[in-house]
């Protein structure tokens, strides 16, 4: 099987590595890729015609779409229309990530537990609503915002100003919703629009600095599985969240086939949905796929061709995986680029996955905010953590920074279901 992976991040590098381990795969091309992905093709992954032409030229048996942008732009529709098997939802179905208001509508239809929410297009009405709401306030821009369109905080003026700022753009809408209190879980499900196969639960670290301080980022690290999550949580989320949403999408006439990513808070009232994404998460994918023993291309092709019900149950490696992101100087506000990266000897069990990197002659230099994702697999979380940080110390990149506490509280047994989650002000 020849597989084309669209995207350029550590998620796509992880997908390429896992796909290459599948014995049925003869070639994996990542487009546009980065300095870590050996087989690349230059393409704008959000250009449906260019991607379709590339898939034809490569005679790809499967296209796996990494980021949300191409999905929302209809790349999966164009490929499907051209008769190419594609893992990724239609533009209509990708709205589950592309519009928070749409996601709320689907959840209401499907009876899925989520924060109560109201949608506003008028700043004055929104301010009046916030003034009588209970802190902490959660305000979200409606639309794709690369993780930066959400404000959570207890200061009414700041929340109101955030909403006003978003609504100053023509046609903008905001969603104001209740604060969900509890530790967060990212659960990915592979689906063909009918059958739902959950992967291992993971947790990511969205804030840039240790102890969850500083601004939100695309994600600074992740680990899987979650030792503190009860064994029945994944089946419960499948039953109460994933399957009902997949069924509702099909009943609406916009079946969701691809990767449904549920971001959940484990609250006192059970799992509640914070958000859906229409694609693999980054950096959670790095740890989830590191533990997958089943052939990945076979699984994704079954989802792409509507035959997931016949797929054998997934096999997972025992143990744990941890990934630590190495970010460029200045990330997330103003990341530096063009700095040389050198990687020393790595211990066994460690992969350095590339994100914002490119080749410059025979050097590898930084070219984005999240530069590398150092991923380790070991028999337990403590060992995986130690190995990942050993890998981080083997990397030289001027001015770079990483969190030092990825998976630390879980390793120490300090995460529990009853935890209250502090707001950003309470942490600083
Ligand atoms: P999102 O872009 O929707 O994933 O939001 C980014 C982050 O904001 C989430 O990972 C949560 O940490 C936080 N967040 C979003 N919505 C809520 C909510 N309703 N209650 C508490 N925290 C939230
Ligand atoms: N890890 C968060 C995301 O991929 O959106």
Residue 162 within a domain: yes
- 195 and 140 inside one domain: no
pLDDT at 424 over 80: no
Phi-psi region of 275 (alpha: psi -120 to 50; beta: other; left: phi over 0): beta
Closest residue by Cα to atom 16, ligand 1, is: 274
Instruction: Give the pLDDT band (50/70/90) at residue 142.
Output: confident
Residues in the ligand 2 pocket, defined by CB under 6 Å: 147, 204, 219, 277, 281-282, 284
Residues in the ligand 1 pocket, defined by CB under 6 Å: 115, 138, 140, 147, 150, 152, 177, 179-180, 184, 206, 263, 274-275
Global pTM value: 0.95
Residue 286 within a domain: yes
Residue 274 within a domain: yes
- 189 and 169 inside one domain: no
Residue among 68, 150, 212, 422 to mutate when testing ligand 1 (max atoms within 8 A of CB): 150
List, for residues 364-396, the tens digit of each pLDDT value: 999 999 999 999 999 999 999 999 999 999 999
- 173 and 193 inside one domain: no
What is the 172 CA–ligand 2 centroid distance (Å)? 23
Closest residue by Cα to atom 4, ligand 2, is: 281
- 157 and 206 inside one domain: no
Tokens for 52? 């379709």
Mean pLDDT taken over the chain: 95
pLDDT at position 128: 97
What is the 115 CA–ligand 1 centroid distance (Å)? 10
Residue 14 within a domain: no
Residue 124 within a domain: yes
Residue 295 sits in a domain of what CATH number? 3.30.470.20
Residue 101 within a domain: no
List, for residues 37-49, the tens digit of each pLDDT value: 999 999 999 999 9
- 266 and 158 inside one domain: no
Residue among 216, 222, 284 to mutate when testing ligand 2 (max atoms within 8 A of CB): 284
Domain boundary pick from 177, 192, 207: 177
List, for residues 301-327, the tens digit of each pLDDT value: 999 999 999 999 999 999 999 999 999
Q: How many domains does the chain have?
A: 2
- 194 and 240 inside one domain: yes
pLDDT at 138 over 90: yes
Average pLDDT over every residue of 408-416: 96
- 168 and 257 inside one domain: no
Which ligand is closest in space to the CA of residue 216? Answer: 1
- 171 and 248 inside one domain: no
CA-nearest of 154, 122, 120, 126 to 138 is 154
Residue 126 sits in a domain of what CATH number? 3.30.1490.20
Residue 165 lies in domain:
116-177
pLDDT at 428 over 60: no
- 330 and 392 inside one domain: yes
pLDDT at position 145: 59
Closest residue by Cα to atom 15, ligand 1, is: 274
- 139 and 156 inside one domain: yes
- 195 and 163 inside one domain: no
CA-nearest of 310, 288, 283, 285 to 299 is 310
- 166 and 190 inside one domain: no
pLDDT at 80 over 80: yes
Helix, strand or coil for residue 267? Answer: strand
Where do we find the tokens 């689906």? 191
Residue 38 within a domain: no
């Amino acid at each position: 099987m020849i597989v084309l992976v669209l995207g350029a991040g550590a998620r796509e590098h992880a997908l390429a590595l896992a796909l290459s381990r599948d014995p049925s795969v003869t070639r994996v091309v990542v487009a546009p890729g980065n300095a870590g992905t050996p087989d690349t093709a230059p393409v704008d992954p959000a250009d449906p015609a260019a991607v379709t032409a590339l898939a034809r030229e490569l005679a790809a048996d499967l296209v796996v779409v990494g980021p949300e942008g191409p999905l929302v732009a209809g790349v999966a529709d164009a490929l499907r229309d051209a008769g190419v098997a594609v893992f990724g939802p239609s533009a209509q179905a990708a709205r589950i990530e592309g519009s928070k208001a749409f996601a709320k509508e689907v959840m209401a239809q499907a009876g899925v537990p989520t924060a109560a929410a109201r949608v506003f297009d008028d700043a004055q009405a929104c301010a009046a609503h916030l003034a009588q709401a209970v802190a902490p306030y959660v305000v979200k821009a409606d639309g794709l915002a690369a993780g930066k369109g959400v404000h959570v905080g207890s200061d009414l003026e700041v929340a109101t100003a955030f909403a006003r700022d978003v609504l100053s753009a023509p046609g903008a809408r905001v969603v104001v919703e209740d604060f969900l209190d509890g530790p967060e879980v990212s659960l990915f499900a592979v689906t063909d629009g009918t059958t739902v196969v959950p992967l291992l639960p993971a947790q990511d670290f969205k804030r840039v600095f240790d102890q969850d301080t500083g601004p939100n980022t695309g994600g600074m690290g992740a680990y899987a599985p979650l030792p503190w999550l009860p064994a029945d949580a994944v089946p419960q989320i499948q039953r109460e969240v994933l399957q009902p949403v997949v069924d509702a999408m099909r009943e609406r006439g916009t079946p969701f086939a691809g990767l449904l990513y549920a971001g959940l808070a484990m609250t006192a009232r059970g799992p509640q949905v914070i958000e859906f994404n229409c694609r693999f998460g980054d950096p959670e994918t790095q740890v989830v796929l590191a533990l997958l023993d089943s052939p990945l291309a076979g699984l994704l092709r079954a989802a792409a061709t509507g035959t997931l019900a016949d797929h054998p149950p997934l096999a997972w490696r025992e143990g744990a995986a941890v990934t630590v992101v190495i970010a460029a100087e200045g990330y997330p506000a103003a990341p530096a680029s063009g700095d040389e990266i050198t990687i020393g000897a790595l211990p066994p069990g460690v992969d350095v996955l590339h994100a914002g990197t490119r080749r410059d002659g025979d050097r590898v230099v930084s070219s984005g905010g999240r530069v590398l994702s150092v991923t380790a697999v070991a028999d337990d979380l403590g060992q995986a953590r130690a190995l990942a940080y050993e890998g981080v110390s083997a990397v030289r990149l001027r001015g770079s920074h990483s969190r030092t506490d990825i998976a630390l509280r879980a390793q120490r047994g300090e995460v529990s279901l009853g935890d209250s989650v502090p707001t950003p002000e309470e942490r600083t």
